[in-house]
Chain A
Amino acid sequence: MRLTCPFCGPRDVAEFVYEGPFSGAPQTERPALSAAPAAWVEAVFLRDQPRGETRELWRHLHGCGCFLDVLRDTLTHEVRAVAFADPADAAAMRAKP
């Protein structure tokens, strides 16, 4: 399996770390500090078990270190899309000369 990092290009999956499910919100998906304990239990411990397409947060740990927004299929291992998870990373890329 390969992921195409928007900064580094196509790389072996061994360079990346799976961090968890992702909904497209900023890079930490935590509830507010004042949220009820149940919201924290859900965020920390509970998961959907997507069989098929899933959206996940990955990190290119042994590469550029960026957090990535990955659209992937858990049944076929097909990687459909990889984008920066943090809008600041995407903006920095666009600003590159």
Chain B
Amino acid sequence: MRPYSALDVLWNGLTGQRGWTRAWRDRAPRPAYDVVIVGGGGHGLATAYYLARNHGLRRVAVLERGLIGQGNAGRNTTIVRSNYMLPGNREFYEHTLKLWEGLSQELNYNLMFSQRGHLALSFDPGFRDAFARRYNTMRMTGADGRWLSRSEVQARAPYLDWSQSARFPIEGGFLQQRAGTARHDALVWGFARAADARGVHIVQNCEVTGFLREGGAIVGVETSRGEIRAEKVALAVAGSTGPLAAKAGLGKLPLETHKLQAFVTEPLKPIVHQVISSARQGLFYMSQSDKGGVVFGGEIDGHPSYAQRGGLETYSEVMSKAVSLAPFLARTRLLRQWAGVVDMSMDGSPFITPTPIPGLYFNAGWNYGGFKATPASGWCYAHTIAHDAPHELNAAFSLDRFARGRELDEEAAGPVPRLH
């Protein structure tokens, strides 16, 4: 892999852009690997990269049913933050933010990571107290965050509804300045290129249809491109976790599969200078992409679904939230709307863990928050696969935590996925 450089860009600009080569190779599958990762999204590719970089594994394949990055990696709202409070979550998400801060350099790929800040709006004393506790905890455990008064929020976000007639008057907000946004496709391609350079095979259009077993162990996968044997098989398939885990024999899981919509407006001049989130009218979050579109979303549709298609009732609810919070959005045109299939866990926290089945590893349950977690998810999953045991950063993300009374319920919402 030849590293990209400013000189490269200049030279190719002068010579008709003829010097660029493929960023990564589209491989045909080999009959056997040390590790097969199922799912070529951000998490799967990051895992492959860290298996090669941190643990020296070279015979690693990432199998993707379609094209890499075409699932939730290409459907999210690209927000990166680490404002988590519970032990088990906060260290993990702060680790992911720290990885993000050096990742463009490390991968030699511009992830367009912009630490423009994440602002959680406060509308009432109850929220302020709960989030003061959360942000104080973050500050004591190594993350950043601080309270902004109403006038400080207004100075940063004058486009919100500050009028006397605002449906939900804003009284202030909590800022995490190191949070921000990144380019989702670049994350996928950056990890794919860096993994490929270290010998990882990226195999596209290769759907896993079943598992090879010997004794009680899983020793490979059946795919649409033939059988592939592997010492270790690692799932990273987000919304497809349920059906694949059932084939693997994992049985019932602490997950429900839902659909989550996202929206983007026509490109506007820069106006939303940070990530805005609100929990007052139900969940709402927005940011502005570098192309100018205001990207926003709300809650999941509320019932299990595998259709990558959202319902009108949630669509109109998100629009009403958007307009009540930022009235200028009523005058913009909506350019696109889409939905992704998300694996909602029963406590709102993820899983990165070995499984009771030898040879099978499990990564799922990312709810709304999988994009920001991608680097640390890959980092921890690679450790878990290489050592057959979780790293301390993902020790809490086990499948049996519900049976042990150790659920990680950041929102204190109970075992109801639509409330997380």
Q: Please, which residues of chain A bring their CB within 8 A of the CB of B199?
A: none
Q: Determine if B254 and A46 form an interchain contact, defined as CB atoms under 8 angstroms apart.
A: yes
Q: A50 vs B246: C-alpha distance in the bound complex, in angstroms? A: 10
A76 touches B307 (CB 8 A): yes
Query: Is B91 located at the chain interface by the 8 A CB criterion?
Result: no
Assess whether B265 is interfacial by the CB under 8 Å rule.
no
Taken together as a complex, chains A and B put the C-alpha atoms of A54 and B242 apart, in Å, by 14
Chain B: minimal CB distance from A89 (Å): 21
The docked-state distance in angstroms from the alpha carbon of A72 to that of B402 is 28
Contact B245 A49 (CB under 8 A): yes
* Interface positions of B from 400 to 418, Cβ below 8 Å from A: 402-403, 407, 415, 418
Contact size range, B: 20 to 34
- Assuming the contacts A74-B304, A74-B307, asked whether A47 and B252 have C-beta atoms less than 8 A apart, the reply is yes
Contact residue among B243, B309, B317, B418 (Cβ-Cβ distance under 8 Å from A18): B418
- A-side interface residues, number (CB < 8 Å): 26
Residues on B close to A: CB < 8 A?
241-243, 245-246, 251-257, 302-307, 309, 311, 313, 317, 346, 402-403, 407, 415, 418
Interface flags for A25-61 (1: CB within 8 Å of B; 0: not) read: 0000000000001100110111111110010101000
CA distance A76 to B402 in the complex (A): 31
Residues of the A chain whose Cβ atoms lie less than 8 Å from the Cβ of B403: 37-38, 41
A77 to B259, CA, bound (A): 11
Contact across chains for A12 and B313 when beta carbons are under 8 A apart: yes
Known: A18-B304, A47-B253. 9 other contacts (CB 8 A): A1-B311, A17-B302, A18-B303, A47-B252, A49-B246, A50-B304, A51-B243, A56-B304, A75-B307
Q: Please give the distance in Å from A51's CB to the nearest CB on chain B.
A: 5
Find residues 71-86 in chain A having any chain B CB closer than 8 Å to their own CB. Answer: 72, 74-77
A8 close to chain B: CB less than 8 A:
no
Contacts of A51 in B (CB 8 A): 242-243, 257, 306
Residues of A contacting B402 in the complex (Cβ-Cβ under 8 angstroms): 41, 44-46
- The answer to whether B306 and A74 have CB atoms under 8 Å apart is yes
CB distance from A97 to the nearest CB of B (A): 34
Q: Is A77 touching B307 in the complex (CB atoms < 8 A)?
A: yes
Contact of A75 with B306 at beta-carbon distance under 8 Å, contacts A38-B403, A45-B402 already known: yes
CB-nearest residue of chain B to A76: B307
| Interface pairs (11), CB distance under 8 Å | A1-B311, A45-B254, A47-B252, A48-B252, A49-B241, A49-B256, A51-B257, A56-B304, A58-B303, A74-B305, A77-B309
- Report the bound CA distance from A59 to B92 in whole Å: 37
User: Which residues on the A side are within 8 Å of B243 (C-beta)?
Assistant: 49, 51
Residues A13 and B313 in contact in the complex (CB < 8 Å), given A45-B346, A47-B256, A49-B255: yes
Q: Are A13 and B253 in touch, CB under 8 angstroms? A: no
Q: Which residue of A lies closest to B244 (CB)?
A: A49
